[in-house]
């Protein structure tokens, strides 16, 4: 592989073993039951997965972005929901490390590293979608508190996350609009209501809810970094992590779909030979494997650029765009290769087909990714060849 140290490769291998031993044999039953995967989440805490982005002195074993991406892909190969259960948490941890005051870091990061405290981010609004600057959730300053009103939707882990990184307007009159946006570090309390779980096609087990803020009082020292008006830039940096993470989730789904299709194509015979020897099926397998390999390299390219501290919104957007689209294609082709069994809930491939679309629309739709990529191409004067 070349990108990971021996220690980091051992982390990825440990997660792979956990997935193969604990998750794969039981995931179908757990997913269809709709229950929360409490036992697996506890095991993920014990493995240190919630602390992968938390450095000393608050945590023990932070890993590079390439390692984090491959851990995410392994979890998702077992069940995409498990990767989703730590995605927003990692973004919030990185936001705290990069921008938090020392007091904020000391308050939250030690408990986040162990998974005792889990975190999520709240960006999307019911009427706003990907247009974050048009948000209506606002926090007005009253004495030593902000009073928060508004709502956010499609918030993963909303009920079980004790900390919410809330993107909201603290100065609605600011020009340009992004200068009036802040990230508030909000904990559950009076004035915050979590809706019932939103029903979903896939991405089961982990709740997605609406958050309603009704005159919720939040202390002024909850502003990430201590200075209001910097939230939009902070969250855009956080979304680089988020988009690499979503791309890695898509990679895991595609990996699992290819593995199942490859195994089935060797076991199943028609017209006197294994079906992979029929050219149409063999071509599917060849294309699936080629696109997955390309997607993995795109993700690692974005992750390595992130690791050097360079801006990588274009690279992360490319990785997310490409990998989510090919995950959908690979999942569909895995269904084709399985024939009628691909439509059966007794086989895993129908789950991949239900989980894959989330990565196309999540963390900024793919239409938005193309806007980001195009704008960066113009700004940078083309592709960077270095």
What CATH number has the domain bearing residue 298?
1.20.140.10
- Number of domain units in the chain: 3
Q: Which of 228, 255, 274 is the last residue in one of the domains? A: 228
Among 240, 315, 350, 363, which one carries the catalytic annotation? 363
Residues 211 and 273 in one domain: no
Residues 78 and 131 in one domain: no
Give catalytic status of residue 38 as yes or no. no
pLDDT computed for residue 1 by the predictor: 44
Q: Does a structural domain hold residue 95? A: yes
How far from the centroid of its chain's Cα atoms is residue 257's Cα?
19
Q: Does a structural domain hold residue 47? A: yes
Q: What is the CATH number of the domain that holds 35?
A: 1.10.540.10
Per the DSSP assignment, residues forming a β-bridge with 212 are 151, 193
Enter the DSSP assignment of 223.
B
Q: Which of 204, 228, 252 is the last residue in one of the domains? A: 228
Q: How far lies 245's CA from each of 16, 35, 60, 128, 274, in Å?
A: 17, 24, 21, 22, 36
Enter the DSSP assignment of 115.
T
Residues 194 and 267 in one domain: no
Residues 134 and 89 in one domain: no
Residues 361 and 344 in one domain: yes
Residues 279 and 365 in one domain: yes
Give the structural domain span for 323.
Answer: 232-380
Task: Round the CA-based radius of gyration of the chain to a whole number and report it.
Answer: 21
Residues 266 and 160 in one domain: no
Residues 292 and 165 in one domain: no
Residuewise pLDDT in 10s, the chain (386 residues): 457 999 999 999 999 999 999 999 999 999 999 999 999 999 999 999 999 999 999 998 899 999 999 999 999 999 999 999 999 999 999 999 999 999 999 999 999 999 999 999 999 999 877 777 789 999 999 999 999 999 999 999 999 999 999 999 999 999 998 899 999 999 999 999 999 999 999 999 999 999 999 999 999 999 999 999 999 999 999 999 999 999 999 999 999 999 999 999 999 999 999 999 999 999 999 999 999 999 999 999 999 999 999 999 999 999 999 999 999 999 999 999 999 999 999 999 999 999 999 999 999 999 999 999 999 999 999 998 76
pLDDT computed for residue 130 by the predictor: 73
Residues 131 and 204 in one domain: yes
């Amino acid at each position: 592989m070349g990108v990971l140290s021996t220690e980091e490769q051992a982390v990825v291998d440990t997660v792979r073993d956990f997935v193969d031993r604990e998750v794969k044999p039981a995931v179908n039953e757990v997913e269809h039951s709709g229950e929360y995967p409490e036992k697996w989440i506890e095991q993920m805490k014990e493995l240190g997965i919630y602390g992968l982005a938390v450095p000393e002195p608050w945590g023990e074993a932070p890993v590079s972005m390439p390692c984090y991406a491959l851990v995410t892909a392994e979890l998702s190969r077992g069940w995409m929901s498990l990767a989703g259960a730590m995605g927003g948490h990692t973004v919030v941890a990185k936001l705290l490390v990069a921008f938090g005051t020392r007091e904020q870091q000391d308050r939250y990061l030690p408990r986040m590293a162990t998974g005792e405290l889990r975190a999520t981010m709240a960006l999307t609004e019911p009427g706003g979608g990907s247009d974050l600057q048009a948000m209506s959730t606002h926090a007005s300053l009253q004495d030593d508190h902000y009073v928060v009103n508004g709502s956010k939707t499609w918030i993963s882990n909303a009920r079980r996350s004790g900390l919410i990184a809330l993107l909201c307007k603290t100065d609605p009159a600011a020009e340009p609009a992004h200068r009036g946006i802040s990230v508030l570090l909000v904990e559950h309390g009076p004035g915050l209501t979590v809706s019932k779980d939103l029903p979903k096609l896939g991405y089961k087990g982990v709740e997605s809810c609406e958050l309603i803020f009704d005159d919720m009082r939040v202390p002024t020292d909850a502003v990430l970094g201590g200075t209001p008006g910097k939230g939009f830039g902070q969250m855009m940096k956080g979304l680089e992590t988020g988009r690499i993470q979503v791309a890695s989730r898509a990679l895991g789904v595609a990996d699992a779909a290819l593995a199942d299709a490859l195994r089935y194509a060797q076991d199943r015979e028609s017209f006197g030979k294994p079906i992979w020897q029929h050219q149409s099926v063999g071509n599917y397998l060849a294309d699936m494997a080629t696109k997955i390999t390309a997607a993995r390299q795109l993700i690692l390219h974005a992750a390595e650029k992130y690791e050097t501290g360079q801006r990588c919104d274009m690279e992360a957007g490319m990785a997310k765009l490409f990998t989510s689209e090919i995950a959908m294609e690979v999942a569909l082709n895995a269904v084709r290769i399985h024939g009628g069994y691909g439509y059966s809930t007794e086989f895993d491939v129908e789950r991949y087909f239900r989980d894959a679309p989330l990565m196309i629309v999540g963390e900024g739709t793919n239409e938005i990714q193309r806007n980001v990529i195009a704008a960066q191409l113009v700004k940078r004067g083309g592709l960077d060849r270095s």
